[in-house]
């Protein structure tokens, strides 16, 4: 009995440690490589627009394409190591994102969930996400079908029931619970051990020719929000003194930049300052600072990153657009993810631009949202 308890605890701890390391590597890539590539693309886009020599322009465009490919690879690697959407938006959006990723393996996944909020500790959310991913890969390998359903239900007894179902080949499930030495069985054993270590249950129902249903039952233990924190600094970025170009007769657009990476803010500021009707009135490195500075300077437009410490871009956008309906928010993210875009727009953002497209799309996006104000 003691051995079994130790095994369960060790298995659970190994999984959590692995995921924390994945998250650390993901954060490293996000904070350095991805941001550097974004800034390089901004600089190159400016050079392409300013140089007139045909050969040089061609070379710069080729370099820009290489950087674009590198950035796409980095985004993919970040997502595979540790999907940021799980920590930024929660379990349900992360499972929907996972379903989209499974389409690469010719598996269509439908995610069903009720209206009740699902609050899990970070360790629980990580486990459920990883378990569902492993079960979906089992569907791909063994079911012989191209569709699966993932359903989540919160019960009155404060349990979360997560089911992964398919209508495929099925099997006789009884050997699964007794013989884990066979190929492919340890994954199910590991899921069961990890579930029980969290105080839950895992069981499989299957019939040959009628499909399989795997069910995770996890006790709900609300934890702190699973948000990736990239900075421990608490210094407030002071509002900048706007310098309006002399002789300018255009309507000046007052802009607040919000991003936890100073290099990105500098790159965007340089890009926008080329336009005489744009004035940067402040900078913030997290959602909390964005709210405070907005109260002071009341900008026309807020350019808002999604992934930030303290208060993320989605929550900050929701607050700003509710308290100041005339302010337009343009959301930014290094990730090209439809789920993040949807949640930003639902929070009240007027536009969504990926950081890889900032150089070519941000200026037009600002002008479009300003025209909506006028």
pTM (global) more than 0.75? no
When pLDDT is averaged across residues 196-208 and rounded to a whole number, the result is 89
List pLDDT tens digits, range 278-323.
999 999 999 999 999 999 999 999 999 998 888 889 999 999 999 9
User: Does pLDDT of 63 surpass 60?
Assistant: yes
Report long-range pairs for 316-324 (Cβ below 8 Å, ≥24 apart): 316/258, 316/287, 316/288, 316/290, 316/291, 317/344, 317/347, 317/348, 317/349, 318/347, 318/348, 319/291, 320/290, 320/291, 320/294, 320/348, 321/347, 321/348, 321/349, 322/348, 324/294, 324/298
Domains of the chain: 2-81 (1.20.58), 91-219 (3.30.565.10), 253-373 (3.40.50.2300)
Q: Is 124 or 150 the better-scoring residue by pLDDT? A: 150
Mean pLDDT for all residues in the chain: 80
- The answer to whether residue 106 scores a pLDDT higher than 60 is yes
pLDDT tier for residue 175 given thresholds of 50, 70 and 90: low
Average pLDDT score over residue span 251-264: 91
Lowest mean pLDDT among 32-36, 169-173, 346-350: 32-36
Three-state DSSP at 333 gives: strand
| pLDDT on residue 89 | 79
How confident is the model at residue 244, as a pLDDT?
A: 47
d(CA 195, CA 247): 68
**Measured distance CA(240)–CA(19) in Å, rounded:** 40
In this predicted structure, the answer to whether residue 202 has a pLDDT above a threshold of 50 is yes
Structure confidence at residue 190 (pLDDT)? 78
Which is higher by pLDDT, 65 or 237? Answer: 65
Which has the closest alpha carbon to 264: 11, 39, 12?
39
Q: Classify residue 115 by its DSSP letter.
A: S
Specify the pLDDT at position 322: 94
- Whether 255 has a pLDDT exceeding 90, the answer reads yes
């Amino acid at each position: 009995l003691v051995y079994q308890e130790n095994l369960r605890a060790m298995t659970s701890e190994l999984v959590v440690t692995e995921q924390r390391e994945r998250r650390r590597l993901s954060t490293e890539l996000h904070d350095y490589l991805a941001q550097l590539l974004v800034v390089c693309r901004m600089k190159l886009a400016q050079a392409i627009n300013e140089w007139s020599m045909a050969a040089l322009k061609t070379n710069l465009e080729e370099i820009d394409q290489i950087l674009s490919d590198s950035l796409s690879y980095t985004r993919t690697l970040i997502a595979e190591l540790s999907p940021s959407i799980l920590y930024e938006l929660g379990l349900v959006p992360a499972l929907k994102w996972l379903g989209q990723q499974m389409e690469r393996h010719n598996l269509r996944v439908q995610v069903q969930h009720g209206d009740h909020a699902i609050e899990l500790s970070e360790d629980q959310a990580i486990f459920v996400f990883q378990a569902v991913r492993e079960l979906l890969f089992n569907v791909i390998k063994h079911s012989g079908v191209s569709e699966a359903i993932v359903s989540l239900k919160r019960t009155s007894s404060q349990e979360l029931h997560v089911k992964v179902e398919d209508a495929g080949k099925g099997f006789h499930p009884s050997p699964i619970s007794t013989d884990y030495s066979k190929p492919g069985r340890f994954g199910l054993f590991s899921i069961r051990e990890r579930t029980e270590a969290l105080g839950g249950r895992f069981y499989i129902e299957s019939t040959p020719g009628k499909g399989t249903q795997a069910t995770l039952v996890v006790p709900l233990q609300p934890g702190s929000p699973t948000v990736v924190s990239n900075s421990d600094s608490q210094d407030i970025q002071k509002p900048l003194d706007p310098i309006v170009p002399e002789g300018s007769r255009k309507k000046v657009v007052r802009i607040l930049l919000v991003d936890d990476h100073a290099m990105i803010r500098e790159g965007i500021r340089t890009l926008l300052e080329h336009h005489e009707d744009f004035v940067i009135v402040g900078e913030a490195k997290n959602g909390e600072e964005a709210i405070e500075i907005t109260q002071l300077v009341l900008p026309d437009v807020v350019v808002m990153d999604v992934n930030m410490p303290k208060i993320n871009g989605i929550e900050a956008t929701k607050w700003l657009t509710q308290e100041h309906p005339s302010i337009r928010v343009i959301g930014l993210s290094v990730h090209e993810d439809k789920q993040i875009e949807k949640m930003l727009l639902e929070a009240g953002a007027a536009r969504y631009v990926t950081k890889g497209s900032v150089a070519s799309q941000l200026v037009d996006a600002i002008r479009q949202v300003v025209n909506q104000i006028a």
